Amino acid sequence: MQPCRLAARDLACRRGDRLLFKGVGFELQSGGALQLAGPNGIGKSSLMRILAGLLRPYAGQVEHDGLRALSDERPALDAHRPLGEALDFWRRIDRAGEARADFGLQDLLDVPVRFLSTGQRKRAALARLAASGAQIWLLDEPLNGLDKHWSTAVQAAIEAHRAQGGIAVIASHQPLQLQALRAVSLLDHMA
């Protein structure tokens, strides 16, 4: 994997008349991981969308070397297609291969995405992200809806991605068992 980098410089986010946070900054190099922490509504998901380039910051800038991919509450999989077809669509778009991690989806490839459970949809979204070839993974609540087994497996996939030189930014309320995980609390950046 090519070396990658993600940096946030003095980021601020405004939603309507409300300034959610200001002064957020960090820099991650290949192999780095960061957890975004804070209560619901503080702006973690908005910050993830800013880092992905899907939302403009009110102030500050994002710098990145490497492809970014976001996995959030919207799995970006066609709900009316069988899971296998939905994943194949993204493989063609991303010109990528199979996910290196096993997300336990083999027996579900003929099931329409809309019939998958919350945990199955979450694992499918993570498989899509893992197969994307992106060096920078932006994971918004990646463990929601997962049982203990799959929570452990997803964290192992994140660690494997980092060991290959990737970066992971994770917004999560759940405790994470990742090595050398840095944390940024958005409570420290409230406007």
Name every residue whose Cβ is closer than 8 Å to that of residue 123 and which is 6 or more positions away in sequence: 103, 104, 105, 146, 150, 154
- Residue 143: pLDDT above 90? yes
Q: Is the pLDDT of residue 36 over 90?
A: yes
**Can you list the domains of the chain with their CATH numbers?**
5-189 (3.40.50.300)
What is the chain's mean pLDDT, rounded?
92
Rounded to an integer, what distance in angstroms lies between the CA atom of residue 115 and that of residue 143? Answer: 20
DSSP letters for 106-172: GGGTTSBGGGS-HHHHHHHHHHHHHHS--SEEEEESTTTT--HHHHHHHHHHHHHHHHTT-EEEEE-
Q: What is the pLDDT of residues 37-54, one digit of tens each?
A: 999 889 999 999 999 999
